[in-house]
Structure 1
Amino acid sequence: MDWESTVRSLLAGAHSGTGDGTDAGAQLVVDDPSGDEAYRAALARHCRVEEDENVLWIRPIVPGEKAPGTGETIHDLSVCRRRSLSWTGLEVHENQVIFTLATGQVARIEPAQGRELAELQSWDLFVLGLSQEEERYLDDLDADSWWG
Structure 2
Amino acid sequence: MNDYVYLAYDYPVLGAFWTAVWIFLWVLWVLLLFRVIADIFRDDTLGGWAKAGWLVFVIGLPFLGVFIYVIARGKNMGRREREHAQAQQRAVDDYIRETVGSSEYTSDVDALAKLSEIRAKGGITEDEFRRAKEKILH
TM range (shorter): under 0.3
Higher relative contact order (CA 8 A, sep 6+): 1
For normalisation by structure 1, the TM-score amounts to 0.22
For normalisation by structure 2, the TM-score amounts to 0.23
